[in-house]
């Protein structure tokens, strides 16, 4: 579907206030309670995942942060300073990462994800953070409910919140796309920045329903982006979101997570144990057999056939041939 015919809007950014990192002494009155080590944490709610070098990470309920050094066969629970639901995680290298979640908590690690520190919390905001992206060790963005977006230029020591125009929809996903960044969210919200979030352009959306996530991969002369969300809707763009084409997923279940395989095949998954695969040269998706019916929220492709999936019942490995 084309987005031509309607001019893009450059959105003003309105700064509001600064949030500062408190030292451990300053967080003496923090309401956060460290997460409890649980033998079956890998079988509890897991919401998002990421890789850092050869290590796989996942975050979820009760502040759980887990990592695997054997491609998802076994899991170790990291030391987490919160029991809030964690919704997203991102790494810039194999040592430095950040995670976000409810109570607007922001966590950071500098030891490969084995120990995490509380960088920020704002329970009084009542706005959960939903995603995080860092461009390097210093500069990053977090997004959340009701248009909440914050930036840091010092690795998370201080945060500045701002508004993108008058948008107050939930910003469900923020994605690095080469030198650009894309936000996808509620009510078809799509906004793009080419300067790490200093300025934004609202894109004409191909759909008025909610997007729950987005994935990207390099292609010839640029990057491919797929956004996905409510009732099986998914759209692809090869020009940074200027134009979108609807993908035939063949399902009406909500799509909650996705990735690309090593060879560029697309994996999408979601509610009711839905797992879909589209070969790079095909136009339609095929169902991947899966015996469960739980909601699946995130996926890591080990190679072209092996997947590690995450959801309300924890994590599992499966073949996606």
Q: Which of 130, 107, 248 is nearest to 99 (CA)?
A: 107
pLDDT band at 86 (very low <50, low <70, confident <90, very high): very high
pLDDT at 28: 52
* CA terminus-to-terminus distance, the chain: 30
Summarize the confidence of residues 133-157 as an average pLDDT.
Answer: 98
b/e for 19-34, b at 16 or more Cβ within 10 A? bebbeeeebeebebee
Task: Check: CB of residue 95 under 8 Å from CB of residue 38.
Answer: no
Task: Check: CB of residue 66 under 8 Å from CB of residue 77.
Answer: yes
Distance (Å, rounded) from C-alpha 238 to C-alpha 222?
A: 7
Does the pLDDT of residue 26 top 60, yes or no? no
Task: Check: CB of residue 244 under 8 Å from CB of residue 224.
Answer: no
Task: Check: CB of residue 289 under 8 Å from CB of residue 249.
Answer: no
Instruction: Specify the pTM.
Output: 0.92
């Amino acid at each position: 579907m084309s987005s031509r015919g309607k001019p893009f809007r450059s959105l003003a950014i309105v700064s509001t206030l600064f949030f500062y990192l408190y030292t451990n002494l300053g967080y003496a009155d923090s309401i956060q309670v460290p997460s409890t080590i649980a033998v079956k944490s890998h079988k509890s709610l897991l919401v998002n995942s990421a890789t850092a070098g050869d290590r796989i990470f996942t975050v979820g309920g009760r502040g759980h942060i887990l990592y695997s050094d054997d491609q998802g066969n076994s899991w170790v629970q990291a030391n987490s300073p919160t029991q809030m639901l964690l919704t997203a995680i991102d790494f810039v290298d194999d040592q430095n990462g950040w995670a976000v979640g409810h109570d607007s908590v922001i966590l950071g690690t500098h030891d490969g994800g084995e120990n995490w520190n509380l960088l920020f919390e704002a329970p009084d905001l009542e706005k959960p953070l939903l995603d995080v992206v860092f461009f390097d060790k210093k500069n990053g963005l977090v997004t959340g409910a009701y248009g909440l977006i914050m930036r840091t230029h010092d690795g998370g020591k201080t945060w500045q919140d701002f508004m993108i125009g008058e948008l107050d929809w939930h910003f469900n996903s923020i994605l690095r796309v080469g030198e650009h960044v894309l936000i996808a969210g509620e009510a078809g919200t799509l906004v793009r920045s080419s300067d790490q979030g200093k300025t934004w352009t609202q894109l004409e959306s191909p759909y008025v329903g909610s997007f729950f996530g987005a994935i990207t991969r390099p292609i010839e002369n640029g990057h491919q982006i797929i956004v996905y969300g409510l009732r099986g809707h998914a759209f692809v763009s090869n020009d940074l979101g200027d134009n979108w084409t609807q993908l035939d997923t063949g399902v009406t279940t909500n799509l909650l997570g996705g990735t690309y395989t090593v060879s560029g095949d697309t994996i999408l998954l979601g509610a009711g144990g839905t797992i879909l695969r589209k070969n790079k040269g095909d136009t339609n998706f095929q169902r991947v057999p899966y015996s469960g019916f739980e909601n699946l929220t995130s996926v890591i492709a080990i190679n072209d056939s092996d997947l590690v999936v995450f959801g309300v019942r924890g994590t599992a490995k499966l073949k996606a041939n």
